[in-house]
Amino acid sequence: MNQMTPSEENMNMENMALQQSQSEKIRAIIKRYYIYFVLALVVAVFSVVRLDEVEWFARGHFLNPNNIINLLRIAVPIMTVAGAFTFLMIAEYIDLSIGSALSLAGVVFAWMILNGFSFLPAFLVTMFVGLIMGTINGFLVIRLNITPVIATLITLSLYKGIALLIVPAGFSGIKSIGEQKMPAWINNYAREDVIFGLPMAFFLAIVVIVVLVVAQRKTLLGKYSAAIGGNATAAELSGINRIKVVWILYIIVAVSAALAGIARASFMSMGDPLTGDGMELWVIIAVMLGGTRFSGGEGNVEKTVIAALIIIVITVGMLTVIPAYWQTFALGAVLLIAVVINHQLVGDT
């Protein structure tokens, strides 16, 4: 048995715990803040490189106000969806239908505006459609017990199909059709300057992002998602209602996709049923770069949101440097790199 006195033993243990905490602390700091370093790095690279020396470039310095506003405008809706998506992944579930949900929402919104409704009713109805889509997703996954991947691939197809069917034949989207003109004020939400040249859509999305970040850190929803994803049995034993929590998460994801869809329809003055195609890819890359674990239990909305911004910055930056036909390859490569990074960060058992 130990020869130390009880107090010595205590001190020893505390020292060990503290030391463990120290090296653990450094790792934790890296894990927590690396994403900001990466963001700074990426912006720096694109700013410093004299892009007008590159053959295809013609837009001037990267950090000009126009570019930044443009970037933020594109990025923020996706950041919102990525943030909501993080919750779901933390609980170890997935939703691949977000792109179609965005498209359908945009179509519904545009349709209503085109047919004479004012902004607020159109907005609310579209958000309600988002709610319904989330409910359907949740129903398939949690009640019918269909694997999340397959369930949300089915709804991906369904929502896309519905969006396509709403658009009249021969048109690429809901827009001015013959006599019926799309009112110009549809742009206001996503284009009209409110402050600093940024539109209402931007600020609303920022609010949602902030809410999501806070929710994950400080509310039951955030904690329970992590509990369900980390150890579903322990969560169940502690009285957590998995069905309720996960269903709510699916609804939140779909609703944020709907919000993003409204912003896009407003910006483009049209409801494009295919505009959201492939968004799930971006979101997944963002989620991975943000250090979310595939097997659930761990993840951070803030980091995912920043990661989404980084992805957009990189892509927009790339757009100015590489030809369009390199993009798919680049995106795929970025995904695989993100997979490797994620593996290093939160490497699975």
Of 199-218, which residues contact another protein (CB under 8 A)?
215, 218
Among 75, 284, 286, 312, indicate the residue that binds another protein (CB under 8 A): 284
Q: Classify each residue of 29-52 as buried b or exposed e, where b means 16 or more C-beta atoms within 10 Å of its C-beta.
A: eeeeebbeebeeebbeebeeeebe
In angstroms, what is the minimal distance from the CB of 300 to another protein? Answer: 11
Nearer to another protein by C-beta: 20 or 70? 20
User: Cα–Cα distance between 269 and 88 in angstroms, integer?
Assistant: 31
Q: Name the segment binding another protein (CB under 8 A); options: 12-20, 71-79, 257-265, 305-313.
A: 12-20
In the complex with another protein, the residue whose CB is nearer, 39 or 281, is: 281
Start-to-end CA span in the chain (Å): 35
Candidate residues 131, 210, 319, 330; the one interacting with another protein per rule CB under 8 A: 330
Least Cβ distance, residue 240 to another protein (angstroms): 6
Neighbour-count burial of 263, counting CB atoms closer than 10 A to its CB (0-12 exposed, 13-18 middle, 19+ buried): buried
Query: Contact region for another protein (CB under 8 A) — 33-41, 71-79, 258-266, 335-343?
Result: 335-343
> How far is it, in rounded angstroms, from Cα 254 to Cα 242?
18
| 340 class by beta-carbon count within 10 Å (0-12 exposed, 13-18 middle, 19+ buried) | exposed
Please give the Cα distance from 294 to 297 (Å, whole number): 9
Among 49, 164, 318, 341, binds another protein (CB under 8 A): 164
Among 125, 210, 281, 316, binds another protein (CB under 8 A): 281
How far apart are CB 207 and another protein at their closest, in Å? 17
Which residues, numbered 140-159, are part of the site for another protein (CB under 8 A)? 140, 144, 146-147, 149-150, 153-158
Radius of gyration from C-alpha coordinates of the chain: 23
98 binds another protein (CB under 8 A): no
Query: Is residue 73 involved in binding another protein (CB under 8 A)?
Result: no
Our finding on whether 191 is near another protein (CB under 8 A) is no
Given 127, 133, 200, 226, the residue binding another protein (CB under 8 A) = 226
Lay out the site mask for another protein across 298-317 (x = CB under 8 A, - = otherwise): x-------------------
Concatenated DSSP letters for 253-280?
A: HHHHHHHHHHHHHHHHTSB-TTTTTTHH
Please state the closest distance from residue 116 (CB atom) to another protein, in A.
Answer: 25
Based on the shown chain and the rule CB under 8 A, indicate whether residue 10 belongs to the binding site for another protein. yes
Taking the least distance from each CB to another protein, the nearer of 215 and 306 is 215
- Please give the size of the binding site for another protein, defined by CB under 8 A: 75
Residue 17 interacting with another protein (CB under 8 A): yes
Nearest to 304 by CA among 315, 293, 318: 293
Quick one: which segment of 54-62, 112-120, 195-203, 286-294 binds another protein (CB under 8 A)?
286-294
339 touches another protein (CB under 8 A): yes
In whole angstroms, the minimum distance from the beta carbon of 134 to another protein comes to 16
User: Interface with another protein includes 3 (CB under 8 A)?
Assistant: no
d(CA 152, CA 97): 5
d(CA 343, CA 346): 6
Residues near 254 by Cβ (< 8 Å), separated by ≥ 6?
95, 97, 98, 101, 130, 131, 133, 134, 137
Tell me if 336 contacts another protein by CB under 8 A. yes
What is the C-alpha to C-alpha distance for residues 245 and 231, in angstroms, rounded to an integer?
Answer: 14
Which of 210, 204, 238 lies closest to 224 in space, CA to CA? 238
Q: Does 318 bind another protein (CB under 8 A)?
A: no
Q: How far is the CA of 328 from the CAs of 75, 105, 175, 275, 315, in angstroms?
A: 18, 26, 28, 16, 11
